[in-house]
A and B are shown apart, each in its own frame.
Chain A
Amino acid sequence: MKITVAGETKEVRDGITIAELIEAEKVETPEYVTVSVNEEFADREAFGSQQLSDGDTVEFLYFMGGGRA
C-alpha cells in the first residue's frame, strides 16, 4: 500500500504499525517524537498496535522547546 510520510509517498507493507514505520524510517530519538496520522495525533501507547491504511498521511513531529538553564 502507499502512504505519505513526511511529505513523501512511500510503498509500505499492508498493515504496518506506527511503531514499525518509526523503525523503518529510522526516526531518531522516537521517544521525543509525536506522530500524526491524517492530522490526528496518535496515542503513543498504541504505536505498536495502530495499523496504517492505504492513503494515510503520517508526520513525525519532534518535541521543540528549550530554556535558559
Chain B
Amino acid sequence: MRITIRKNDYEKILAHSLKERPNEACGLIAGIDREDGTREIRFVYLLTNTDASNEHFTLDPKEQLLAVKDMRQNGWKPLGNWHSHPESPSRPSEEDKRLAYDRTASYLILSLMEEDHPVLNSFHVENGESEKEDLTVLDETAEKQ
C-alpha cells in the first residue's frame, strides 16, 4: 500500500518522540483512503504511553476515544497508530506483531537508534507477519516552490 504523511506531521512525531526519550512515544494516525488505494494521513495524534517505558507502549483508551471522536468530526477515519523505537530499528518487534490486532491498520514506527538519522517506516501486519508499506513524506513547502 502507498501511504503519505505530510512533513509537518512527520516532524510532529519526531519532536514528540525526542521529547519522550528514553521512553517510547505513541499515538494515532487519521486521514482518508483514496479510491486509487493511496492512504493519506491528514492528522497525527500524540497520545500518552501508559506503560511509560523504553521497551513497551500502550495507548490510553480514553485518549484513543477522544481522538476517534475528533477524527469523526473532521471527516477522517482511524488509519492506525505510530510509536517510536528509541534504541532499536524501524521494524516491528515480535511483540509489536503479536499485539497488532487490526489488520486494516497501518503501523508506523520511528527509529531514533541513530541520533542524526531518524527512520520512519509504515507496516501492514497480519497473522503475525509484517510487510513494509510504501511511505512517502510529503514536503508541501518544497512542492509550492
Residues of chain A touching chain B, judged by Cβ–Cβ distance below 8 Å, are 7, 28-29, 32-34, 36, 39, 41, 59, 61-69
* Cβ 8 A contact of A66, one of B57, B61, B71, B102: B57
Instruction: List residues of chain A with CB within 8 A of the CB of B71.
Output: 7
Q: Give how many B residues have a beta carbon under 8 Å from the other chain's beta carbons.
A: 32
User: Are B96 and A67 in touch, CB under 8 angstroms?
Assistant: yes
Residue of A nearest to B53 (CB): A67
Flag whether B103 is at the interface (Cβ < 8 A): yes
Instruction: List residues of chain B with CB within 8 A of the CB of A69.
Output: 55, 93-95
Q: Which of B13-21, B36-44, B62-70 contacts A (4 or more CB under 8 A)?
A: B62-70
Contacts between the two chains (Cβ within 8 Å), count: 70
Assembly CA distance A59 to B65 (angstroms):
8
CB distance from A12 to the nearest CB of B (A): 19
Instruction: List residues of chain A with CB within 8 A of the CB of B58.
Output: 63-65
CB distance from B37 to the nearest CB of A (A): 21
User: Are A65 and B99 in touch, CB under 8 angstroms?
Assistant: yes
Instruction: List residues of chain A with CB within 8 A of the CB of B26.
Output: 64
* Cβ 8 A contact of A39, one of B69, B101, B105: B69
Residue of B nearest to A68 (CB): B55
Interface residues of B in 100-116 (CB under 8 A from A): 100-103, 105
Q: Indicate the member of A32, A33, A36, A66 with the most B CB atoms within 10 Å.
A: A66
Pairs A-B, 10 closest by C-beta atoms? A66-B96, A65-B58, A67-B56, A67-B95, A68-B55, A64-B59, A62-B102, A32-B101, A69-B95, A29-B101
Contact sample, A vs B, 24 pairs, CB 8 Å cutoff: A7-B71, A7-B72, A7-B77, A32-B101, A33-B101, A34-B61, A41-B65, A61-B64, A61-B68, A62-B102, A63-B58, A64-B58, A64-B81, A64-B102, A65-B58, A65-B99, A66-B56, A66-B83, A66-B100, A67-B56, A67-B93, A67-B95, A68-B85, A69-B55
CB distance from B102 to the nearest CB of A (A): 4
Flag whether B31 is at the interface (Cβ < 8 A): no
